[in-house]
Amino acid sequence: MNRNRHTRRARIGALVIPVVGLLGLGACSDDEPDEVPTETTQAPTAQDRLEQAREVLTEAGSVHLTMVGENLPEELDAYVISADGSGTMEPPAFEGTITAKVAGIQADVPTVAVDDQLYVQLPFTPGYISTSPEALNVPDPAQLFDVDAGVVSLLSKTEDAEFGEQSREGREIVQEVTGTLPGQAIIDLLSVGDEEATFVVSYALVEEDWQVRTVTLTGPFYPQAESTYTVTLDQYGERVTVTAP
């Protein structure tokens, strides 16, 4: 009788020990904190901001533009001094006024560029005449709005992009991004420049919406001169219609 009782107790003990062991393991695992996946976040680089600004400008489709040149070679007979007008990107088109030196004479020239045609109102002419950029030895202003070769394209062609200073311009907080551009990018934009040269570029990007507010280009646009053109962009997405006069 006692022998049977001891045998039953031994069997019960043999069953209880593994169960307790399993419960113990469960308790230990519950005490350990769950592994939380580590989130890796990287702050946007200067090139990231330029790409963001390129998308914003492209999606706008139209913009108002002013361009002003500094340290231009007075001895040359033809070059653009400044421009003020609005344009569209699809198709590339421009309507405004270009101040240029043409045949040695400085003049404000009302200009329309659309459908690969250039219309200008030269001094002492009663209306617009149809001509070509090559005939006047000036860049095609519609090219400034071309997605592949215009101001938009500079953002993706910029090399060695770095953040510069942050500042307030009126009501806007702007972030400076500096970099360089190959000479070919300048030739594509303005039909002037040294193909072998490297141009310095500085952008002012409006924080929050990342619009390009200014683009400053410096380099050998013309022989024997280190000139600067500053392009200012605003009125993003406002309705612009350009038609031949």
Range in 22-36, 42-56, 210-224 the model is least confident about? 22-36
pLDDT for res 103: 78
Element (H, E) at 144: none
Give the number of other CB atoms < 10 A from CB of residue 15: 9
- Residue 120 has a pLDDT of 94
pLDDT exceeds cutoff 90 at 204:
yes
* 9, pLDDT greater than 80: no
Average pLDDT, the chain: 87
The residues with which 205 forms a beta bridge, in sequence order, are: 175, 212
pLDDT digits (tens, 9 = 90+) for 88-97: 999 999 999 9
Check residue 21 and give its pLDDT.
45
Task: Identify which of 214, 236, 94, 74 has the alpha carbon closest to the alpha carbon of residue 154.
Answer: 214
For the whole model, what pTM was predicted? Answer: 0.81
Token reading at 21: 């062991």
Q: How confident is the model at residue 17 (pLDDT cuts 50, 70, 90)?
A: very low
Q: Count Cα atoms within 13 angstroms, Cβ side, for 62.
A: 15
The two tokens of residue 238 are 């406002």
Q: H or E segment at 183?
A: helix 183-190
Please write the tens of the pLDDT for every residue from 167-181.
998 899 999 999 999
Domains and CATH numbers, the chain: 46-234 (2.50.20.20)
Q: Tens digits of per-residue pLDDT, 37-75?
A: 555 678 999 999 999 999 999 999 999 999 999 999 988
Query: For residue 194, what pLDDT is reported?
Result: 94
Tens of pLDDT, residue by residue over 99-121, are: 998 778 899 999 999 998 999 99
